[in-house]
Chain A
Amino acid sequence: MLDNLSLFVQYPPLAFDVVLNGLLIGAIFALAAYGMALVWGVLNIVNVVQGELVVLGGYVTFVAVQWGMPPLLGLPLSAAAMFCVGWLIYRAVIFRVVDRDIFISILATFGLSILIQQLANALFGSDVRTVDADLGSVHLFDGMVTLAGIKLLAFALALGAGGALWFFLRKARLGQAIRATAQDPRAARILGIDTDRVFAMTYALNAALCGAAGSLAVMAWTIHPYLGLPYTVRSFMVVVVAGVGNVAGVIAAGLGLGALENVAGFVFGVEFQIAFVFALMVIILVWRNAMATRKRSHLE
């Protein structure tokens, strides 16, 4: 561990490389986390199937490229296809659990995640898949810092999507309906908003965001059917830190998580990278709980 740290001191550009790559990775986490924040805020559901939606999005791009489509076109295709999948999932399962206890929705989405994992395994096999976007990479400091083109694209796209989402929620009619429903579904219904449609659109939009994240993930790294859980956990953490209605917070938390995780992987060793993510989640939950207790005692 110490010799890893000393590498940072000996080769400062290396530290830059690790942090920068972490930030770029974080953009993909942020993209998946937008959707989770939306679904959580509007439907009051913790969407455990989030990571599987990401993986499915990756497979859409993979299959499209197999059929000869240019990889970058796979990105909108994944988003569109996953929008439809999200809509179907809402119509089949999610609408039944919207007003129920949060425990039921967690169980339902957890069940869905197992189902999708196994379906993906049956359809695409357990092989590790990857797609080469052919964007090359940028080299700085005599090759010490390498930034893959696809990760830069992911970064720009995640920021763009965040901005678009913010604008959509503020200005578009549907976006306003989504916010109204999030505030008070009953009042929204009384005011003539078709909340069922709003729920469906929100869930589908979430799936589309996951699809885009998955498409970027398959081009930046690899995917396989069992990779969903780490994405679910990361989205969950980002949302817990940022809060449900805070697009800018989601971006900041996503990037921060990516950078922290990458540095931790480098310093403690890759074998502890995921362990670090989980440990961080426990710490954040304890901290959030402590803050909430403090706030409550102030109010009392």
Chain B
Amino acid sequence: MMRHLVSGLLLGAMLAFSGPAGAEEPGTIRLGAAVSLTGKYSSNGAFTRNGYDLAVKRINEEGGVTVAGKPYRLEIVYYDDESTPARGAQLVERLIRQDGVKYLLGPYSSGLTEAIAPVTEKYGVPMVEANGAAISLFRKGYRYLFAVLSTTDQYLRGAVELAAAVNEDPSKLRVAMAFENDPFSQDVREGVMEDAAKHGMNIVIDDKLPPELNDMSATLSKAKVLKPDLLLVSGHDKGAALAVRQVADQRLDLPMMALTHCDSAQIAEKFGAAAEYTLCAAQWASTLKYEDALFGSASDYAALYEETYNHTAPYQAAESSAAVQVFADAFERAGSLEPDAVRDALSETDIMTFYGPIKFDETGKNVSKPTVLFQVQDGKYVVVYPQEFAEAEFRWPTPSWSER
């Protein structure tokens, strides 16, 4: 114990002395982040971290950020929250109180963001998050929380709209829904219910999937006899994988199926022909026509990401990178490193990034970016909705299994 204390003091002293070395040496702005590197969110947690790291790297390569005439480099202090909310909240407390971090980047998932937000709020530490989209986050009057992504209820609304557009009489449509019993998916459900009610559609199945989901056959058996025109599933990666897998296994004929998380579950890559025609809701696609000075276009970002990490850029990484860009922009506009000044600058953010336009409303959610729908066409993810970004015609209805 004593030895640890002594070495800690020595290290502290060394750091203190190495600090002010030369006037043109850039300062360092430290951002803190607790992300899921182990546990059930570890793959999406890694995407989050990759996104943060890539943006920090690019910003530092371009000379860092300039605050009140002085150059600064960005640096991120990471902890692993083990995908558990309690641990996340504890680590954020530690980041703020022990590590002296004054700005936070969000964790992965709405659940963890919900656990952390009260802590950042308590200490008045601004947090820009990129992976917590639950609508409930923005109903609590948080002042220091900013989210670059579209809220969750938006995810599958597009699928309902699209179904209403292609079918002659939307009020005859039969909708089947299977949503995991967690904040994210239940929010998705809320949005869908609202839009389905608007068009007068019939909800014929409304199942809640358990978090330890391993088998959807009960839902799909019902779908066999109730013959819905549209099946909507949201249950993170495993929900997407299961839906594609079991619909094909059961040769269940569905004119239209839309999922969340199919790009991170890599359904087109893993399931091949079984994934064809599936619609996937996403926050971002590399084919969208957005651009910024740092990364270039969305496809430039995707290329850079793939070159750096050897896999296709998922939207989870893209939005994470955008969160860092938002911070960098706010530091420069605030002209100060005072957390409250940065917070005020954040609230006035109005920028265009490769990820899309970012502008926060008074609750801190990004209101200027739409969500998109991909369709798996010939093994590729192709944007089919909204109309202005569509790369190809929506293929509908899905042919029956006997004709495929």
Residues of chain A touching chain B, judged by Cβ–Cβ distance below 8 Å, are: 4, 7, 10-11, 14, 17-18, 21, 25, 118, 121-122, 125-128, 130, 132, 137, 139, 143-144, 146, 148, 221-222, 224-227, 229-230, 262, 265-266, 269-275
Contact partners of B210 in chain A: CB under 8 A: 270-275
Whether B245 sits at the interface, judged by CB under 8 Å, is: yes
Q: Which of B40, B224, B245 contacts A130 (CB 8 A)?
A: B245
Complex-state Cα separation, A262 to B249, whole angstroms? 17
Given contacts A18-B221, A126-B41, A144-B224, contact A271 B251 (CB under 8 A): no
Whether B299 sits at the interface, judged by CB under 8 Å, is: no
A-B contact pairs, 24 of them (CB 8 A): A14-B221, A126-B42, A126-B43, A126-B83, A137-B249, A143-B251, A144-B225, A146-B250, A222-B238, A224-B40, A227-B212, A230-B214, A265-B215, A266-B221, A269-B218, A270-B178, A270-B213, A270-B216, A270-B218, A271-B208, A271-B210, A272-B210, A273-B218, A274-B210
Contact (Cβ within 8 A) A230 B212: yes
In this complex, the member of B216, B218, B241 whose beta carbon has the largest number of chain A beta carbons within 10 angstroms is B218
Given contacts A221-B215, A222-B241, A227-B212, contact A125 B43 (CB under 8 A): yes
Complex-state Cα separation, A7 to B216, whole angstroms? 17
Contact (Cβ within 8 A) B39 A128: no
Q: Which of B83, B208, B212 contacts A274 (CB 8 A)?
A: B212
Contact (Cβ within 8 A) A222 B218: no
Q: How far is the CB of A2 from chain B (nearest CB, A)?
A: 14
Whether B237 sits at the interface, judged by CB under 8 Å, is: yes
Complex-state Cα separation, A128 to B261, whole angstroms? 12
In this complex, the member of B38, B181, B215 whose beta carbon has the largest number of chain A beta carbons within 10 angstroms is B215
Complex-state Cα separation, A80 to B222, whole angstroms? 39
Contact partners of B41 in chain A: CB under 8 A: 126
Complex-state Cα separation, A10 to B270, whole angstroms? 37
Contact (Cβ within 8 A) A266 B42: no
Contact (Cβ within 8 A) A11 B225: yes
**Interface mask (B171-185 → A, CB under 8 Å = 1, otherwise 0):** 000000010010000
Given contacts A139-B251, A274-B210, contact A21 B217 (CB under 8 A): yes
Residues of chain B touching chain A, judged by Cβ–Cβ distance below 8 Å, are: 38-43, 83, 178, 181, 207-210, 212-219, 221-222, 224-226, 237-238, 241-242, 245, 249-251, 265, 270-271
Complex-state Cα separation, A300 to B214, whole angstroms? 47
Contact (Cβ within 8 A) A146 B251: yes
Q: Which of B209, B222, B242 contacts A222 (CB 8 A)?
A: B242
Q: Which of A118, A128, A137 contacts B241 (CB 8 A)?
A: A128
Contact (Cβ within 8 A) A271 B207: yes
Contact partners of B271 in chain A: CB under 8 A: 132
Contact (Cβ within 8 A) A127 B43: yes
Given contacts A121-B39, A221-B215, A269-B207, contact A146 B249 (CB under 8 A): yes
Complex-state Cα separation, A125 to B40, whole angstroms? 9
Given contacts A143-B251, A222-B242, contact A265 B218 (CB under 8 A): yes
Contact partners of B207 in chain A: CB under 8 A: 269-271
Complex-state Cα separation, A146 to B207, whole angstroms? 21
Contact partners of A230 in chain B: CB under 8 A: 212, 214
Contact partners of A266 in chain B: CB under 8 A: 218, 221-222
Q: Specify the chain A residue showing the minimal Cβ separation from B244.
A: A130
Complex-state Cα separation, A88 to B4, whole angstroms? 37
Q: Specify the chain A residue showing the minimal Cβ separation from B224.
A: A144
Q: Specify the chain A residue showing the minimal Cβ separation from B242.
A: A222
In this complex, the member of B40, B208, B222, B226 whose beta carbon has the largest number of chain A beta carbons within 10 angstroms is B222
Contact (Cβ within 8 A) A222 B225: no
Contact (Cβ within 8 A) A121 B251: no
Contact partners of B213 in chain A: CB under 8 A: 270
Complex-state Cα separation, A221 to B222, whole angstroms? 19
Q: How far is the CB of A83 from chain B (nearest CB, A)?
A: 25
In this complex, the member of B38, B214, B216, B242 whose beta carbon has the largest number of chain A beta carbons within 10 angstroms is B214
Contact partners of B245 in chain A: CB under 8 A: 130, 132, 221-222
Complex-state Cα separation, A21 to B220, whole angstroms? 12
Contact (Cβ within 8 A) A121 B42: yes
Contact (Cβ within 8 A) A270 B38: no
Complex-state Cα separation, A5 to B132, whole angstroms? 38
Contact (Cβ within 8 A) A127 B224: no
Contact (Cβ within 8 A) B43 A148: no
Q: Specify the chain A residue showing the minimal Cβ separation from B266.
A: A127
Contact partners of A7 in chain B: CB under 8 A: 222, 225-226
Contact partners of B83 in chain A: CB under 8 A: 126
In this complex, the member of A148, A222, A266 whose beta carbon has the largest number of chain B beta carbons within 10 angstroms is A222
Contact (Cβ within 8 A) B38 A118: yes
Complex-state Cα separation, A227 to B216, whole angstroms? 15
Contact partners of A25 in chain B: CB under 8 A: 215
Complex-state Cα separation, A44 to B191, whole angstroms? 53
